[in-house]
Amino acid sequence: QLQQRLQAATSSPPHFQLDTNPSPAFAGNEVQFPQAPPFSCMDVDSETDSNHDTALTLACAGGHEELVELLLSRGATIEHRDKKGFTPLILAATAGHEKVVEILMNHAADMEAQSERTKDTPLSLACSGGRYEVVDLLLNRGANKEHRNVSDYTPLSLAASGGYVNIIKLLLTHGAEINSRTGSKLGISPLMLAAMNGHTAAVKLLLDMGSDINAQIETNRNTALTLACFQGRHEVVSLLLDRKANVEHRAKTGLTPLMEAASGGYVEVGRVLLDKGADVNAPPVPSSRDTALTIAADKGHCRFVELLLQRNAQVEVKNKKGNSPLWLAANGGHLAVVELLYSVGADIDSQDNRKVSCLMAAFRKGHMKVVKWMVNHVTQFPSDQEMSRYISTINDKELLEKCQDCVKIIRVAKDQQAAKANKNATILLEELDMEKNREESKRAAAARRRERKKKKKLEKKEEKRKLHEENQKNEMMYVEEEDDDEEDEKEEVEEAEIEKAASTSAAEVTLGEQSPARGGGEGEEGDSGIDANSQGSCSSNEVKPVVKDRRKEKKKKKPSAPPPETRLPIPATSKPTADERRSRELAVSSGAASSHETNTSSSSKTP
């Protein structure tokens, strides 16, 4: 356009006197501008029809420093605005032409000029575009670092949103407010903007400079972490969690950071959250009763569902409408999610609060692939009446065709299932009969075993009773034998005493025979003694046969002992042995002998 204007100026009528001395060449264009006459006919501020551009605005936007100098020297309007309301300084700052900005500021350009629609200043636009040199120049010239545009964003917020670390550091060095809340209704901080847009380095810088990590937006209570999760910024999420951000913070919607990630299907974000301690079975959203699993299943994020199941998420949960994760996946036509949930034991026949099954939900939406898979696994089918009633309400032709195809699939599956059920019932009845016969056989065998055991028990009891009676009988006989033995011993003792007495009498007789030689008186006494001894001798001789006869009678009366095989063994301590009886007899005889010697000695001493 400049070239066209110059050509028009050089081809003007001859009454215009133009100076043909060339001016310095413009960098980038091989056009030489003639020096303007004292009363030039060319309007330096002429505008284009489309965008209201002037030569100065175009030169500033293109960064043509010498041309800008020339136009300003020719009186170009330094505050001219194009159709968008941009001044030459705004255009130069937006494009990052530091030299042009400096030229304009040296010519007293308004440093706080604002665009008409967005109310952006040169500093705001330079920060938004990452023009570090321009920002540095404007700040050094005293530009307002807290200006807010129509969106209520400050220069720092715009720089954080773009992730321009050097500009953020420069603004903070010049005293910009680090926790300034921007957005007329949002109240979002520079940290939130950097986190939401995934600028990890900017987030780290802001945190190092003291930004509040758990600051919340006033209206929805979102934090930098929830915004980063919502946008899937896993590196920023990891950094925020390392800096002790609240992993279970709930925004006004009731969603946790894990639920925000599940909504977007950001698997890496979900893995970072779970590794850093997020609760996979956190309480559901208060308003909808949704969990991370129901949200991911409803959106069809198969990989996120798989991640949650690997971390032991509860499968049989239902939201406020009674929808299970598998129901939501079937309703959305997400076959991969349906198969995954079924493989871990989800109830494929679950119903919502309106008694609509998973299969019916897929049928209503015309998801033929899901219906074709589900008919091979469900145990309950919707009735023909229910399907016909729903089809009658469909107005969409394409959906109607899909639902009719689903009806055919379901009916074929129902017939196949009925035939299979009949076959299985027959097999089951046969198995039941066989089982019944086996049980009866077992009971009969058990009864026979019990009878045999009972019979054996009775036989043992009878045998034991007989044996007990025989033992009692043998014990009685043994007691009688002991009594007889004791009587025999007593008789032997008596016999020994009698013999002792007899021996004593014999000794006295001997002494009496020796006494007559001593004298007559004594002879009379000796005669009487002889008579006594003779009487004693006769009595002892009479007693011996009597004792022997009595012993013989007892032996005759004593019954014979039972055979040894019928007698029970008797303890050795209960009956004296033959050796013991012999020792007793020897003791008795020795006692008698000693007494006889005593009597003999005493009689020998008698005068």
Residue 309 near residue 346, CB atoms below 8 Å: no
Q: Which CATH class is domain 145-279?
A: mainly alpha
In the numeric block, which tokens belong to residue 86? 């941009």
185-194, 405-414, 443-452, 543-552: least confident range: 543-552
Per this entry, what is the length of the chain? Answer: 607
pLDDT band at 354 (very low <50, low <70, confident <90, very high): very high
Q: Distance from CA of residue 487 to its chain's centroid? A: 92
Q: Confirm whether pTM is higher than 0.75.
A: no
What pLDDT sits at residue 483?
A: 73
Q: Which of 187-201, 478-492, 507-521 has the highest mean pLDDT?
A: 187-201
Question: Average pLDDT of the chain?
Answer: 81
pLDDT one-digit tens code per residue, 487-531: 778 878 888 888 888 777 766 655 555 544 444 444 444 444 434
Of 27 and 135, the structure prediction assigns the larger pLDDT to 135
Q: Which residues contact 205 (CB under 8 A, 6 or more apart)?
A: 165, 168, 169
Average confidence (pLDDT) over 446-466: 90
What pLDDT sits at residue 23?
A: 40
Can you name the residues that pair with 351 across neighbouring β-strands? 357
Of 301 and 454, the structure prediction assigns the larger pLDDT to 301
pLDDT at position 369 over 50: yes
CA–CA separation, 178 vs 294, rounded Å? Answer: 38
pLDDT at position 9 over 60: no
Domain layout of the chain by residue ranges: 145-279
Share of the chain above pLDDT 70, in %: 76
What pLDDT sits at residue 580?
A: 58
- What does the buried/exposed string (b/e) look like for 314-352 if buried means 16 or more CB atoms within 10 Å of the residue's CB? ebebbbeeebbbbbbbbbbbbbebbbbbbeeebebebbb
Residue 23 near residue 47, CB atoms below 8 Å: no
What pLDDT sits at residue 540?
A: 45
Helix axes 257-264, 292-299, angle to 10 degrees: 10
What pLDDT sits at residue 569?
A: 46
- Cα distances (angstroms) measured from residue 66 to each of 7, 20, 434: 20, 19, 108
What pLDDT sits at residue 487?
A: 78
pLDDT one-digit tens code per residue, 383-417: 999 999 999 999 999 999 999 999 999 999 988 88
- Cα distances (angstroms) measured from residue 436 to each of 263, 430, 440, 442, 443: 56, 10, 6, 10, 11
CA–CA separation, 339 vs 325, rounded Å? Answer: 12
Coil/strand/helix, residue 187? coil
Average confidence (pLDDT) over 165-194: 89
Q: DSSP secondary structure string, 359-408?
A: HHHHHHTT-HHHHHHHTTT-S----HHHHHHHHTT---HHHHHHHHHHHH
pLDDT one-digit tens code per residue, 84-109: 889 999 999 999 999 999 999 999 89
pLDDT at position 10 over 90: no
In the numeric block, which tokens belong to residue 604? 């020998």
CA–CA separation, 174 vs 127, rounded Å? Answer: 14
Of 51 and 318, the structure prediction assigns the larger pLDDT to 318
pLDDT at position 593 over 70: no
pLDDT at position 198 over 60: yes
In the numeric block, which tokens belong to residue 141? 């010239």
pLDDT one-digit tens code per residue, 573-582: 444 555 656 6
